[in-house]
Amino acid sequence: GQNIDQPTEMTATEGAIVQINCTYQTSGFNGLFWYQQHAGEAPTFLSYNVLDGLEEKGRFSSFLSRSKGYSYLLLKELQMKDSASYLCAVREGGNNRKLIWGLGTSLAVNP
């Protein structure tokens, strides 16, 4: 079956580094997305991985290992505004616009 697992909640300190993990089991794989969603707001795109390795974009980086069905989102120099839910989503097929979504990880950044 299809399954995406993420931790439900995480807590970190302002200025620190946090890693949010995502493991997936899907019938196919054609890319993994990370989205950020602040409470009461729309999810916004953060990163996309389709090949193994690390993609860096400013304070945020995302890693993918297809053989392990594993990804992580790394947030550096945490700021209070990074407190949000982080959603992992997998696209199964090339022509398939359907994304399989995780439950999201609620990150609280404390001063």
Partner 1 sequence: ETGVTQTPRHLVMGMTNKKSLKCEQHLGHNAMYWYKQSAKKPLELMFVYNFKEQTENNSVPSRFSPECPNSSHLFLHLHTLQPEDSALYLCASSPSRQGPSYEQYFGPGTRLTVT
Q: How far is the CB of 98 from partner 1 (least distance, A)?
A: 6
User: Nearer Cβ to partner 1, position 50 or 108?
Assistant: 50
User: Using CA atoms, how far apart are residues 42 and 104, in angstroms rounded to an integer?
Assistant: 13
Q: Please report, as ranges, the residues that interact with partner 1 according to CB under 8 A.
A: 4, 30-31, 33, 40-45, 48, 50, 87, 89, 94-95, 97-104
User: Nearer Cβ to partner 1, position 18 or 100?
Assistant: 100
- As to burial, measured by CB atoms within 10 angstroms (0-12 exposed, 13-18 middle, 19+ buried), residue 89 is buried
